[in-house]
Amino acid sequence: EEGCSQLDALSYSNEDSIKAGAYLGVGLSSCGVRSVFDPALTLLGEFTSAETKPILKIGAILGLGVAYAGTEREDLLEMLSEVLESAVEMDVLSITAYALGLIFVGTCNGDIVGYITDILLSREEADLKHPYIKFMCLGLGLLFLGKQSQSELTMETLKVIEGPTSRYAQFTLDTCAYAGTGNVLKIQEMLHACGEHLEENNEFQAVAVLGIALIAMGEEIGCTMSIRAFNHLLQYGEPVVRRTVPLAIGLLSISNPQLTVMDTLSKLSHDSDGDVAQGAILGLGMIGAGTNNSRIAGLLRQLSAYYCKDPEHLFIIRIAQGLLHLGKGLISLNPFSCHGNLLSKVAISGILGTLHACFDFSGLIHSTAHYFLYLFACAMQPRMLFTLDEELNPLEVTVRVGQAVDTVGQAGKPKTITGFQTHTSPVILAHGERAELATDDYIPVSCFLENCVILKPNPNKKN
């Protein structure tokens, strides 16, 4: 509420870019917040009309997509489908398709699929070469996020499209449909696509590389195998493949600064190819997001001195430093919750939006689409355990925090954490750590002790 009121003053600026930024800011301040007053829709709804300038329309539509990500609001479908039917600019159409993908993520909504495939089939080949077309393909993929075989009919439709956009859309749809499943056959398909040596029309290989990480993430052995495969791709892959590998490694290990991954990215950050180096720098920011990791902070300081005369690299280093100290170390980008069992579709949608923009640093991030970096906001969530009583007042209790132990299939009541330390809540939980209550004075309402947990007094506590 406070953010929207402050941004509202900027929306009356004389500069269109400041206005568009204010509209996107309203969406970002409403991200993950549910209000009966619907401030984002009230403030931004009027700027989706045909009379609005394209730059303002993009800011308002992307703001709505971020604010209502995962809500499946029918009134927003009605509003944004009118934009898809009336707009002629490919950048506006692509952002609208992506915003609808955010709002209806993982729903397989047939109406939106129909709108997007109609645009892809009816447009001239010159339109399909627009740099923003990748976000239209991503919007289509997000509709089938995690739905696996339900995407097959749409996949057959995409094969009809002519030109390089066809394969880009197919791989985007396929990787999104199998996100977080660990499907080995799909990973093999992606590796096979990465192995093709093409001189042109090879943008789909970037999606295939990112798809390996997207499918394998959340499964420990799959992640290890994927990092091994990425080392081979770095040695033998084409430039488009090498440029995407650091981003894929960052996605695999997001908010989890492992030493081996850190060393690989540190080595790549000095690569002779500028895009590989920038991808590695952003990857360092992603793996350390919200951890305040001192080693990564030191590496980024060294890189800022090394690239002091290169403004493009320096810009990415500043972004990586911002990600590293996200929320002063209290916010994580990890899309998994409930001890790594649940993948947040909204979080992965925002991360994918940023990474698809990073496929083309010079043409998008350093040009007109730098605002796609803000999509990381969809994945931001607290990395602390915060305990509350039944009236939602903060409650200080003693908790043990330690390394999580896999107890699947063990008889009795085995210990779930090892090497624990005792603290008073609220406490910060690092990647792979778990918390448990140290006393039996309270019973948690949730079976997973992370984020905000309500505790109620234990009637059967021992004196």
For the chain, the residue count is: 463
**Which amino acid, one-letter code, is at 352?**
L
- Whether the CB-CB separation of 153 and 114 falls below 8 Å is answered with no
Furthest-apart CA atoms within the chain: distance in Å: 76
Element (H, E) at 148: none
- Give the pLDDT score at 254: 93
CA gap 227, 249 in Å, rounded = 7
Burial zone of 455 (CB within 10 Å; 0-12 exposed, 13-18 middle, 19+ buried): buried
Q: Among candidates 323, 348, 327, which has minimal Cα distance to 336?
A: 348
Q: Rounded to an integer, what is the distance from CA 208 to the centroid of its chain? A: 17
Peptide bond into 459 cis (omega under 30): no
What contacts 97, CB < 8 A, 6 or more positions away? Answer: 84, 112, 115, 116, 119, 135, 136, 139, 140
Question: What ranges make up the beta strands (E) of 322-365?
Answer: 331-332, 336-337, 342-343
Query: Sign of dihedral through CA atoms 141, 287, 358, 239?
Result: negative
What contacts 417, CB < 8 A, 6 or more positions away? Answer: 400, 401, 402, 403, 404, 405, 433, 434, 435, 436
**Which amino acid, one-letter code, is at 153?**
L
Element (H, E) at 384: strand 384-388
pTM: 0.93
Query: pLDDT truncated to tens, each residue of the chain (463 aa)?
Result: 677 778 888 888 888 899 999 999 999 998 888 888 888 888 888 888 888 888 999 999 999 999 999 999 999 999 999 988 887 789 999 999 999 999 999 999 999 999 999 999 988 888 888 999 999 999 999 999 999 889 999 999 999 988 889 999 999 999 999 998 989 999 999 999 998 888 888 899 999 999 999 999 878 899 999 999 999 999 988 999 999 999 999 999 999 999 999 999 999 999 999 999 999 999 999 999 999 999 999 999 999 999 999 999 999 999 999 999 999 989 999 999 888 788 999 999 999 999 999 999 999 999 888 999 999 999 999 888 889 998 989 999 999 999 888 777 778 888 888 888 899 989 998 888 889 888 888 999 988 888 889 999 988 877 6
